[in-house]
Chains A and B, each alone.
Chain A
């Protein structure tokens, strides 16, 4: 191959890596937003930020489109009182007021993967191990590692690390991290998100949290396909 052709291939490779790095950044931002919405109630700053978002209408995933549409529908009519309304709905949806394990869409993988719907079971231990293997640990937040917000944030962190590797030209390190993410999204997120999202449709009163559920599930499914394609 001539020197010129080699240089052309190198430029094309660099461009492709930059595009994948951009994709990682977009994935990280979406995972970050979803993690934030599951972590705590919506405050004024978050509500204002979301009202300034663009809501895609044809992403190729019916669930993602439905989720964005529901969020958009709610946010179109959102005003000062919506912060209170969403805080109430967050509690109704994720905390509930019963003690029987069936009074809310409990945002813990353990609840959906243990026979008696208990928290802090095997799923939590597995997620904790994955986080330790990747030198991540929970900060001051006092929820189990298998909380949906922490699982989504794990994907966000790993996507950001992958972006850094790609920008530094370290494809092997990037591929290793993509493999970790693919395993995590399949073994954990997609293992219980369908059930959580099903419960969210039942317990949430607003389109906001119903839409958040659909968007999260649809995005995780799309992301699993993207990771498969990248690693093929």
Chain B
């Protein structure tokens, strides 16, 4: 930024010395509304003007439709997408929260996330992929022990999540290999042979990144422009064709299903 602009931003004050005031000697008795160290009038988040507040991003209202919101959320959360689609599938006919939590914990055991299972459900709900049947309150249960009246809680609510038609439709697209077709067969069509070789390698069993890099580097096409093993891993993972399990890359069912399409492309 030019110096003149800096001058216009900062009101230079030769007398200003940030170390001039020793916080440890500020006397509360001296504090009043005119005191520059009195922070009472600082703006707060609570007073944020309405026009500066932002709504959630992946919602039907902001994206135009539930399908668009779900699709965009899936695109922007590639690492979570397998889990998100699995939740929607699980809730096809309705699933209690406890079942969703168990499923998500299992799916995320090799791919830890800071998102709690119910947080993922809430994200899907906001996007229009799930609906939640509000939990019924436990019955009021009164008891008396040693002459004292008590209230107790007998059962825990386990609200049910149900997938919407829009959620199921988007998931069906992904299950059908829509991302694979777009990324691997579309944008990266020139590398079909490389993708085929990587999937064939993984079909023999879980492999490390170095194993995949060795196969990739054996193709002249990756020399210029240079494409490393990581690129192919990234694309295949985003297309749900491979997944990370037990410290190694593995081919998924979708990867197996889409593999023949690469032969057609090569031919």
Contact = CB atoms under 8 A, between A and B. Distances in A.
Interface of A: 51-58, 68-69, 72, 75-81, 83-84, 97-103, 114-116, 118, 121
Interface of B: 28-29, 31, 38-42, 44-46, 97-98, 101, 116-119, 122, 135, 137-138, 140, 142-143, 145, 148-153, 156-159
B149 A103 contact: no
A80 B120 CA distance: 12
Nearest to A87: B116
Given A56-B150, A57-B150, A80-B101, A97 B29 contact: no
A103 B158 CA distance: 35
A72 B28 CA distance: 42
Contacts of B118: 80-81, 84
A116 B28 contact: yes
Contacts of B149: 56-58
A153 B33 CA distance: 37
Given A57-B150, A81-B122, A76 B138 contact: yes
A52 B141 CA distance: 12
A115 B122 contact: no
A80 B157 CA distance: 9
A79 B151 contact: no
A54 B146 CA distance: 12
Nearest to A58: B149
B116 A72 contact: no
Contacts of B122: 81
A75 B153 contact: yes
Contacts of A118: 28
B159 A72 contact: no
A88 to B, nearest CB: 11
A119 to B, nearest CB: 12
